[in-house]
Structure 1
Amino acid sequence: MRDPTIFAETAAEAWAPVSGWRAKARGAARAARIRLEALRQGPATTPFVRCLYAHAVFSDTVPTFRAFLRAAKQEGEFVDTATLRTIIADGKPSDGRFFHLSFDDGFASVYEDGGPVMEDERVPYTMFVATDLIDADPDTLNRYFAHMPAYRARVRTLDWPQAKAAAEGIGEIGCHTRTHARLSKISGDGARLADEIAGARAIIEGHVGQTCDSFAWPYGTASDIDDTGRAAIAAAGFTSNFSAVRGAVRPGATDVMNIPRHQLEFHWPLHELMVWARGFREA
């Protein structure tokens, strides 16, 4: 059993390596496709609105993270969630090129290692936090990471002073439920659903001292949420809701309560990050 007091402090320590010949073959094929796409793509020149998300920015990925932000800023402007909502609600084809950047789960590395870079580069960002993981004891984190096979070790989460400091800078603290619950599995329990959604929002606002009106549902696929969960999110007062499904954001057409996002992680090579930032597989 893993030592519950030991946390990964670098990407090399955190992410599980690919194992097994089938997985390695799939990974090699994927890398080849992305390399070909990188050669095919050129810098973005047409209007777009694109939401990107990751989980962490570890110390060993800071150089790539900074290089990515600078490269992306050559092709588009990073906007905060309020601006994104305005662009979507405007209903007119965007005449600009816009990125929105967010991070799920509330890992401390985003604030500690990524925060100074985003402040330097003036890139607004949102951290979607699961409130019971903030300041969590080792046993709570132990249970959480037991269901996260992508990680080879536990990753430290924010504390509330860090969350408050991020929100007082250019960050935003959004909601990712209390316990990282799969909403489609608890939609029959109205009390728990309300606690995971409205309860989490109240906890965030109490600690951060600012309105929390952005939500991202855990796991992020269409099967991880249902109509009951969506209704509870709206009833709790959230005005935007983010998925983890790749797709284009289209002003006037995209549902602000079902905003698509492209995943990327900053231990990936820069050319791969830019392939996703340019909307690979967006259609």
Structure 2
Amino acid sequence: MPATPTFAETAAEAWPPISGWGARARSAARAARIRLEALKQRRQTEPFVRCLYAHAVFPDTVPTFRAFLKAAKQEGEFVDTPTLRAIIADGRPSDGRFFHLSFDDGFASVYEAGGPVMEDERVPYIMFVATDLIDADPDTLAAYFAHMPAYQARVRTLDWDQAKAAATGIGEIGCHTRTHARLSKIGHDPARLTDEIAGAKAIIEGHIGQRCDSFAWPYGTASDIDEHGRAAIADAGFTSNFSAVRGAVRPGVTDVMDIPRHQLEFHWPLHELMVWARGFREA
């Protein structure tokens, strides 16, 4: 009988420790820069619209996650994706302070450990899922994580019951393709693009019983998508598309089909999370 696959159930199990003198030196320098920025920053009072995203909320990071949400709520209001789209489309400078929170890849910990916290704090969120990873068999997950060197162990993904439950609460389910495909690599294959984008949208809608309007392209940099991928996303009927490129969201200027986001992860220190939430390197 094959062995039952093991999964990371804590942040320490999921992400590898920093090793090697070069990596440790770079990490120390980065930490020093962020600590200096944290000392310089002040609580925000000027209007802003800022999109934040992460991947997981493991049980060992729940205290930091809750503390972050409470701290961020002192500086701005968390809004859902339809509200974000309306703010962008309004075209007038925002007179409020708004955060939008999303999670990529559809890891179960977001719903299991993070979901109750977000329900308690009344923070709306969206999970961008790669549909072939939901309810996936061990071989599929093993193949996926073999190409994701940022992780030292496999991480459990949602099942469809959890995805539907999230969507019926204060969560949303967005699309992250079927297989976590790099769209710039398949732009020459219209059938594959359609399957990865429109096909994934149909799968999500079939399982959760709601429209899926939002997309985030895997890997998230400008080089990971091309004009063919962008056209396929629009043709599939998505009304918002998110990158992983840091930047400011500016009503009337930001393209709703190319929304920037700031990455943060909740095993990072709280002061570091707040540095990114306040728009460090946003310009």
Give TM class, smaller chain. over 0.9
Matches within 5 A, 1:242-261: 242-261=242-261
Q: Which runs of no fewer than 5 residues in structure 1 stay unpaired?
A: none
> Paired residue for 1:267?
267
Contact 1:4 1:139 in 2 (8 A): no
Taking the aligned partners of 2:18 and 2:136, their CA distance within structure 1 comes to 29
Q: Match for residue 12 of structure 1?
A: 12
Whether the aligned pair in 2 keeps the contact of 1:134 and 1:157 (CA below 8 Å) is yes
**Counterparts of residues 170-181 of structure 1 (less than 5 Å):** 170-181=170-181
The residue type paired with residue 193 of structure 1 is L
What is residue 278 of structure 2 aligned with on the other side?
A: 278
Counterpart CA distance in 2 for 1:236 and 1:17 is: 40
The alignment partner of 1:126 has SS state of strand
The answer (yes or no) to whether the contact 1:4–1:142 under 8 Å persists in 2 is no
2:126 matches 1:150: no
Task: Determine the C-alpha separation between the residues in 2 that align with 1:207 and 1:76.
Answer: 33
Give how far 1:5 is off.
0.1
Which residue is equivalent to 2:72? Answer: 72
- Aligned residue for 1:265, secondary structure, equals coil
Look up the match of 1:228. Answer: 228
Aligned to 1:97: 97
Q: 2:274, 2:190 → 1: CA distance? A: 42
Query: Matches of residues 1-283 of structure 1 in structure 2 within 5 Å?
Result: 5-283=5-283
Structure 2 gap ranges (5+): none
Deviation at 1:19, TM superposition (A): 1.3
CA distance in 2 between partners of 1:19 and 1:183 (Å): 32
Distance in structure 1 (CA, Å) of the matches to 2:100 and 2:23: 31
TM-score (norm 1): 0.99
Q: CA deviation at 1:122?
A: 0.1
Aligned residues: 281
Q: Deviations over 1:164-199 (max 9, x none)?
A: 000000000000000000000001000000000000
Contact 1:213 1:239 in 2 (8 A): yes
- Looking at structure 2, the residues matched to 45 and 165 of structure 1 have their Cα atoms a distance apart, in angstroms, of 35
- Aligned-pair CA distance for 1:4: 7.0
Q: Please report how far the alpha carbon of residue 16 of structure 1 lies from its aligned counterpart in structure 2 after TM superposition.
A: 1.2
Q: Structure 2 length as normaliser, TM-score?
A: 0.99
Shift of 1:18: 1.1
Runs of 4+ aligned residues of structure 1 deviating over 4 Å after TM superposition are none
